Copies of this chain bind each other. A is one copy, B any other.
């Protein structure tokens, strides 16, 4: 076969496998993204071995990750971030410190290296705001106060998690804990974030009239794609992860998104390229590593990941009663892309072992699988069910 014929076959096989297993998962009321990851596990090199990702496939997966985060950014408005109350910030911060400390302490106590333990701690930090929002939307409780706390906190948590990811990415590049470098990176990340939250949207709104005068078809989409690629590259150049730039690019365009109809268009690109990213995540998971002690450790890490969010996020809300504590805690429980990306960065730079990578994937999978049924149970009285698919992130 021609070189491109092989690539076409791989693209076809991966896309079909990811989407078919995703569809099966949707019918079982499980998140489709888990099905896409499972497709990677199944037909990837460690199980059936049908697809062994080439450099080109890995590059396409990286571009897919950029679009997953670009699309997520489109749902987060800078104004929401600035306006959101003290509660959400407290929930986010406590919900980051507790999982990090517990995850780090447990791994280090088990005898893992300092950097590896830091990676696991960071991977336990970031709530997947996409999954949370979609579950709350499906339950029809998006306008409740509890949901607003969860979403506000999840947004902060996502940004803090991303800054931590930048820190961790710097760690991966230098290979050891360079505190000065970490400080500089954190400062860079914070300045980058502040610029993107406060100044980026203003620059865009100044440029808006000129954008409307462009002759290019679909000019807003084209400019958004340029900014996405440009900020991804910039973020990567200053030592952060490229996807952080993509997330901020999405956030900058979040307020123009309805007017310019950006979301369905960017979502279409994400629908095409995203599965290759989730497949790639699964394809790097060696299922043979799960046995005996490994499974026990993965179970304990997952338990810590769940408890630490309930305790951490719940602590600032203890005066509002147990129901709110549990709802917010479980709402903040699912870990998604960020945890998997942290683990992947660690794996690729050989800071974390394949077994530790498998533990993080196990944790992300379990917290994501358990959240929807638990949330459904906790919101069983508040929920006003709406027709399936009528609302949601898409």
Partner of A5 from the list B216, B233, B272 (CB cut-off 8 Å) is: B233
Q: Are B11 and A229 in contact (CB under 8 A)?
A: yes
Taking CB as reference atom, which chain B residue is nearest A8?
B233
Q: Are B11 and A271 in contact (CB under 8 A)?
A: no
CA distance A233 to B62 in the complex (A): 23
Q: How far is the CB of A232 from chain B (nearest CB, A)?
A: 6
CB-CB under 8 A from A222, the residues of chain B are: 19, 271
CB-CB under 8 A from A242, the residues of chain B are: 4-5, 8
Partner of A229 from the list B1, B8, B226, B229 (CB cut-off 8 Å) is: B8
Range class of the A interface residue count: 35 or more
Q: Are B229 and A267 in contact (CB under 8 A)?
A: no
Q: Are A27 and B215 in contact (CB under 8 A)?
A: yes
CB-CB under 8 A from A269, the residues of chain B are: 268-269, 272
Taking CB as reference atom, which chain B residue is nearest A266?
B268
CB contacts under 8 Å to B, within A201-259, are: 214-219, 221-222, 225-226, 229-230, 232-233, 236-237, 242
Given known A-B contacts A59-B56, A215-B27, A233 and B268 have beta carbons under 8 A apart: no
CA distance A63 to B14 in the complex (A): 15
Q: Are A272 and B225 in contact (CB under 8 A)?
A: yes
Taking CB as reference atom, which chain B residue is nearest A215?
B26
Partner of A4 from the list B5, B27, B236 (CB cut-off 8 Å) is: B236
Q: Are B221 and A9 in contact (CB under 8 A)?
A: no
CB-CB under 8 A from A370, the residues of chain B are: none
Residue numbers of A with Cβ under 8 A of B are: 1-2, 4-5, 7-9, 11-12, 15-16, 19, 22-23, 26-27, 32, 55-56, 59-60, 62-63, 214-219, 221-222, 225-226, 229-230, 232-233, 236-237, 242, 261, 264-269, 271-272, 388-389, 392, 394
Query: Besides A7-B62, A8-B242, A55-B56, 18 other CB < 8 A contacts?
Result: A1-B237, A5-B236, A9-B233, A11-B63, A12-B226, A12-B230, A16-B226, A16-B229, A23-B215, A23-B216, A27-B215, A55-B55, A215-B389, A217-B389, A218-B268, A222-B271, A225-B271, A265-B267
